[in-house]
Structure 1
């Protein structure tokens, strides 16, 4: 765990965060059932059952799509 994450990992900061989150949810009328767990790219975290892939028709037809592409972000 890097230093910034370690410093942020304490009970009081979690309480402040979730109190702010709940107040904003009430302020904007957001229900818990309308919240989703996504990463910074907009993908559901932990949901990998169905995957969509985007590549050119030429790559699809050449069968060169043997491995998943990643941007290097391992979070």
Structure 2
């Protein structure tokens, strides 16, 4: 494992991230049903769905 990956995978960084996240959730009163787990494909789908689409209509 390279040093960058090792340094990014330290437990204290995870703790800092989740503490920050929890504070923002509390600050903005975000309800659990508004929280999603979106991976790279999910982000791509949401971006693509916002694009204008032009299709010929089949009769």
Same fold (TM over 0.5): yes
- With over 3 angstroms needed to count, the CA separation of the structure-2 counterparts of 1:17 and 1:39, relative to structure 1, is same
Where in structure 2 are there 5+ consecutive unaligned residues?
A: 46-52
Count of matched residue pairs: 48
Residue 20 of structure 1 aligns to a residue whose secondary structure is helix
Hey, what's the Cα distance between the residues in 1 that align with 2:5 and 2:27? 29
Deviant stretches of 4+, over 6 Å: none
The higher relative CO (CA closer than 8 Å, separation ≥ 6) is in 2
Q: Per-residue deviation at 1:42? A: 1.8
More helix by share: 2
Where in structure 1 are there 5+ consecutive unaligned residues?
A: 45-53, 58-75
**TM-score, scaled relative to structure 1:** 0.46
Q: Per-residue deviation at 1:6? A: 2.7
Supply the RMSD in Å over aligned alpha carbons: 3.1
Cα shift readout 1:7-56 (whole Å, capped 9, x = no counterpart): 21111000000000000001111122321111245268xxxxxxxxx8x6
Hey, what's the Cα distance between the residues in 2 that align with 1:10 and 1:2? 13
